[in-house]
Amino acid sequence: MINKLTAVIAIIGLLVTPQITKANDRPEHAITITKISEQVYVLKPVRGMGSNVGVVVADDGLLLIDAMNIQPGVDKFLAKTLKKISDKPVKFIINTHSHRDHTGANKYFSAKGATIISQENVKFAKFDGPNPLLYPNQWLVNKKLTMTFGGEPIVAHAAVSHTYNDLIVYLPKSNLVFMGDNMGTSWGPNNSEQSPIVLNKVLSNINQDTKIVPGHGYITTKQHLKQYTANTVKWFSVINQFNKKQLTPTQITKEPEFIQLVDFFTGNIDKAFGEDLKHTKRRVKRTIEQFPHKTYDTKDYKNYLGKHSLTDNKSIEIIARDNFLYARVDNDFIAELSPTSATKFDFVGWDNGEHISFDLNNDKTVNRVKLHKPEPKE
């Protein structure tokens, strides 16, 4: 359980500027600026204004890691706050994922010439109009991006955990890592099987002195991240245990062992998170849906990888990340796959029997692919 002392220890050695800015003269709309070095800062807005923001200062501009919420006026308020650090223009924004509370100022700064850096899976989403996650000036990261900005090396690793388009962003010179919503100090964990894999990768890439910047909440430590990772695994184990005993999500939320985990993830700070029974039940249900459900061992899954033609002149691509399989179609969807046989892969978490069927050659390579994706019922 994280107590107030832990929260204090987590920020020892960081210089926090005393000035707190306010939006519309409303005290609850404040951003705290934490100075990591002469070139690197972290902005922490209060709840409701969106994500933490990393700021890297160069001679000719700024690089941001995330861009707060999409609410009206937040973009200009962020721009005003940045003036307290530097008058230089924003040159780059790296998004740790595509959610609106992390991409709110993208459009504002993109219109002023900033380049948006996103994980490539933002392409695989369907909208009624143009994809709002794509910008005129944009870099799309496949697996890894390495760049230097203002003398600060920056490494971004693609991941699938909180979303299909996560980026974990490392600043090795400053010994800092930006987790996006793969970690929070007042909520969690993610409901995906991939989450412990991603968290353990981060732990293997950092040292005891690394500062951890969550998507929301206070800057913390590797020790906290280790406990967060262990409790993420325990979250799945506890819910699975009670699910096998046929407890309902409501009954699970009343179990002492489960309540203890909620207390840890909320940090005893965001009580509303744990006490919102409807929200907590939904998270339990989503976790149950993520339990391992593979009924067929695709030892030769590499035979399925690559792009395959569909009958509507589109193509579908099968990719693998950390031994999980995914299907994706440009401007339509990306989905995790669960093989049920050598010729049928179901979509995980979809409700209408969506799946892919394969016609295989004698050598087990793919001959034809058919997508079974019924239109949603009105």
Residues 132 and 218 in one domain: yes
Residues 135 and 100 in one domain: yes
Supply the pLDDT for residue 12.
32
Burial 244-272 (b: 16+ CB within 10 A, else e): eeebebeebbeeeebeebbebbbbebbee
Supply the pLDDT for residue 378.
46
58 is a domain residue: yes
Q: Look up the domain containing 311 and give its range.
A: 301-372
Residues 240 and 104 in one domain: no
295 is a domain residue: no
Neighbours of 295 (CB within 10 A): 10
Could you tell me if 14 and 36 are in contact, meaning their C-beta atoms sit under 8 angstroms apart? yes
CATH code of the domain covering residue 129 = 3.60.15.10
Residues 103 and 27 in one domain: yes
Number of domains in the chain: 3
267 is a domain residue: yes
Supply the pLDDT for residue 276.
57
Residues 159 and 82 in one domain: yes
Residues 217 and 244 in one domain: no
Domain termination site, one of 196, 224, 252: 224
Supply the pLDDT for residue 54.
98
142 is a domain residue: yes
171 is a domain residue: yes
Compute the half-sphere exposure of residue 363: CA atoms within 13 Å on the CB side of its CA: 4
The CA distance from 254 to 258, in Å, is 7
- Structure token digits, residue 70: 């999409």
216 is a domain residue: yes
Residues 100 and 173 in one domain: yes
Residues 173 and 272 in one domain: no
Residues 204 and 244 in one domain: no
- Residues 136-154 have pLDDT tens digits of 999 999 999 999 999 999 9
3 is a domain residue: no
Averages of pLDDT over each 10 residues, the chain, 378 residues: 31 37 44 95 91 97 96 92 96 97 96 97 86 94 97 97 96 98 89 93 98 96 96 95 94 93 76 59 86 67 93 90 91 92 91 93 94 73
- Rounded to two decimals, the pTM is 0.88
The CA distance from 175 to 36, in Å, is 10
- Residues 8-17 have pLDDT tens digits of 323 333 333 3
Q: Please report, for residues 65, 166, 360, 376, the alpha-carbon distance to residue 27 in angstroms, rounded to integers and kept in the order given.
A: 25, 32, 63, 44
Residues 73 and 31 in one domain: yes
